[in-house]
Structure 1
């Protein structure tokens, strides 16, 4: 079996993450950690950085561009440019389930997974890179 993979610069540009959804099914999302270089002390506030919860419409294909929609350039290795966690849940499959009901639950489960696990963040960096799920921007 031959597999091909697209490689991105680690951590800074974000990454695809699988997680157990609210119904224990395995789902996936795109996650990018906040760019904290412009924040005081180079870290999130004590309560954590806010979440940029990015939702999509129907028939969105999870392609290599997924997760790079907010980049300031076409450089795949560029850091996510904002001081917020980018969380882009897939909403279960390409058509999604609308963002009410199961879709809403999927988005909340994705945020909670990121808050608890901080995927891709080294243990030594976790305290300064927390996610504050009480502060959300919805796009």
Structure 2
């Protein structure tokens, strides 16, 4: 009996030969899929607890976040090198009814709870993930 790919647990495959750029693109897609299904997401020396909407610091201290704060931080942490324009964060996290000042407000809340460096402002471009000071 011949085993199919689905029966042995594989959900993707690569046809060879493959260009390095295509391989990197596939790896990034798999990492994004992993982050979308993860229970915890690493964030520097801390991690995000997806089930409890908390940030877990290295010594075990937990900082609870609101759902919106958590969604904003999770969006930034999922792709830490990406600079998100305010308009994109607004639609991804808050929906089209929210204003761009809503993004600024929630960035302020995150900085107040987790430290000024948790979200970095990139002049005239938007925001990106920073680091948590513990």
Check whether TM > 0.5.
Answer: no
Give the helix-richer structure, 1 or 2. 2
TM-score (norm: length of structure 1): 0.29
